[in-house]
Amino acid sequence: MNVTVLQFPGTNCEFDTKYAFEHLEQRVTIVWHEEEMIPANTDLVVVPGGFSYGDYLRSGAIARFSPIMKAVKSYADNGGYVLGICNGFQILLESHLLPGAMKRNENLHFISKHQYLKVENNDNRFLRKCEVGERLNIPIAHAEGNYFIEEDGLKALYDNGQVLLTYCDREGNPENPNGSVANIAGICNKEKNVFGLMPHPERAMETILGSADGIRMLEGFLS
């Protein structure tokens, strides 16, 4: 499998993401944001975490105008798989590749910790190796992770099976670290080929670092 990982000024998770997929024995190419084309053999585009353009204006608001994002949109429109993690999720929201918007955390503080997630839907390429209701222990690290969508949009997400992950505690009870509507931690588009989540599965690849739950998440993309 060929994975293309994007790199913007301020990105800081591209090498973690590269390591994670290489850990799964996949080929990874890092592509600078000024490029105008995605490598022809790409099976998955990952928009990684970080602070693109220093999070000026809003997280992801400037990165959406980078030349590579036109190629990402075209790639997604043609059915290509795209995964946005943390700042990558924010960029996909700003680019209107995913519905909704991101606000400052409810407590106005940067949050960095391991957080349990509940799998709400596995009828998709990303989470197909996880079980519905399963709890995953995945790190979060963000200041603007408070996902918002208006009521009709939220209903559409649930009706179409687009809500993939919600925040919970160890036992699976709702636990909301940032104020996200309906405790949402991750979603996909209606076509189920564009995915976004605030937690960092690429940082949960080894038990010695606190969790290896990210492995089964990312393995879903493997052929």
How distant is the alpha carbon of residue 169 from its chain centre? 20
**Encoding tokens for residue 219?**
């393995």
Closest CA to 60 of 20, 9, 106: 9
Q: Which residues have a catalytic role annotated?
A: 86, 200, 202
Question: From CA 188, how far away is CA 82, in angstroms rounded?
Answer: 10
Q: Got the DSSP string for 124-185?
A: STTTTTS-TT-EEEEEEEESS-EEE--HHHHHHHHHTT-EEEEEE-TTS-B--SS--GGGEE
**Encoding tokens for residue 140?**
């979060």
As a whole number of angstroms, the longest Cα–Cα distance in the chain is 45
